Each structure stands twice: as structure tokens, then as C-alpha cells.
Amino acid sequence: MKRYRNEWKYRVQEADLAVIENRIAAVMALDFHSGQSGNYEIHSLYFDDYKDACAKENEAGVSRRFKYRIRYYGNAPDVLKLERKEKLDGRCHKDSTVITKEICQKILDGRADELYWETDNPLLRRFCAHMMTRLFAARAIVSYERSAYVEEITNIRITLDKNISVSDNVDAFLSGNFMRYPIQEKSEHVLEVKFDDILPGYIKGIITNKCLIQSSFSKYYLGRLKLQEMRRFS
């Protein structure tokens, strides 16, 4: 049975960021990706079908929708993850599997028919089937810097994402060398709270703050809008 988690998103201004992060750090630990710097880069390659259904369903607020992405952390794609993120009535479920660079390159080359028969991985086969039947293809790379905090006992995760950018140079995804365009103002950042069923009072006390504006922020959707805007003025 699929388990869906709550995912609340907030916009936060640069002027309030340090205060919010200090309050989070006082009660939660940095996650294992963070390293000495306390943050890390994420690069996600998003896919959509020939009708851009994922972007359009996000815009329309469709209650049940999904999207595929391939993600890596840091500057090099040493570990690549194929993910399918599904949203149902505001709650999220994510399936994930590790793939090789060779598999990722085949996906970028549109060789889904080969991959479908070569793999016995259920998620990869499902994705390949969507590539063949609905013509899913790479549409945008979304990159950002993340600080992530976890509370393992209650399974709560809070992330702060900064310098969010987008690129349409999808063929350069594995190189890490692609032109990026900021999605929002440099002074704006995104805070996300992910939890199962109950959010403890000490966490609510942090996010119940007038400087935090709750939002249905979608990095992929806003990234696509930014790329459309860039094309209009190019």
C-alpha cells in the first residue's frame, strides 16, 4: 500500500532566512548529504509528455498527478536516481531507484524501447512505457542549493532551497555544465516541511510565522514558465 506524506511549502525572504534556519537547527539535525558546508547542490532533470500534461495539470491544480525526474547531488552525477513523484489531494508519494550513467544516457537518447526489454526494474520499466506510449521526454533541468534538516523519530524533514534556477540544455545534464536562468528573485527562497500525519507543536511554532508565506510552489512548473519567458525575449 502506498504511503502518502504531507508536503507544505513556504516562500521565505533572504532577510528572514537566517532567523528561520537558526530556529530549525536548534531542534533538528542536518541530513547526511549536507557535509561540512551545511548545504549541497541538487540537479533534477524533469520529463513531460508531448502535451506537457505534467506542467498543465500542476497549473490546473489537478488533485491526482505525477511526474518523473532524474536527480543527482553535487557537481558530478556519481549517483543518479530515477524518481516518480505522485501527488494525491495535497499529499505526496515518491518511488525511487538508482540508475547508471549509461541508462541515463539511453533515456536522453530516446532509447526507451531498448531499456524496457533490458531491465527488470519495475519503476524503470514503467517510465520507459510512458516514454513509448505518451512520448515522455526531458524538458528542463532544475538546480538549487539545499539545506536539509531531519527528525528521525517523527520522520519529519525540513528543507531550505536557495538560488533556484532552470535550464533547457537537457543534453548537458550529465556534464553539469549548462546555462541556468534564475526562477525567482535572488532574495526569495523556498522552505518545505514533509511529515507523515502529525506535526509536533515545536515544529508548528517555527513555521507559524508571519514572514513565511504558504505556497503551492512547483520548481518544475515555474521553471517551464521561465523558459517560455526567455524564448519570448530571445
Query: Among the listed ranges 3-12, 32-41, 191-200, 223-232, which one has the minimum average pLDDT value?
Result: 32-41
Residue 222: closest CA among 125, 107, 144:
144
Residue labelled with grid coordinates 515518491: 94
pLDDT in tens, 178-198: 999 999 988 999 999 999 998
Going by pLDDT thresholds of 50, 70 and 90, the confidence category of residue 139 is very high
Q: How many residues does the chain have?
A: 234
pLDDT score, position 211: 75
Q: What is the mean pLDDT of the chain?
A: 93
Sort 66 into a burial class: Cβ within 10 Å, 0-12 / 13-18 / 19+. Answer: middle
pLDDT in tens, 103-133: 999 999 999 999 999 999 999 999 999 999 9
Domains of the chain, CATH where assigned: 5-232 (3.20.100.30)
Residue 69: closest CA among 16, 13, 130:
130
Q: What is the C-alpha separation between 118 and 102, in angstroms, rounded?
A: 12
The answer to whether residue 21 scores a pLDDT higher than 60 is yes
Question: Regarding beta strands 156-167 and 181-182, do their DSSP bridges make them parallel or antiparallel, or are they unpaired?
Answer: antiparallel
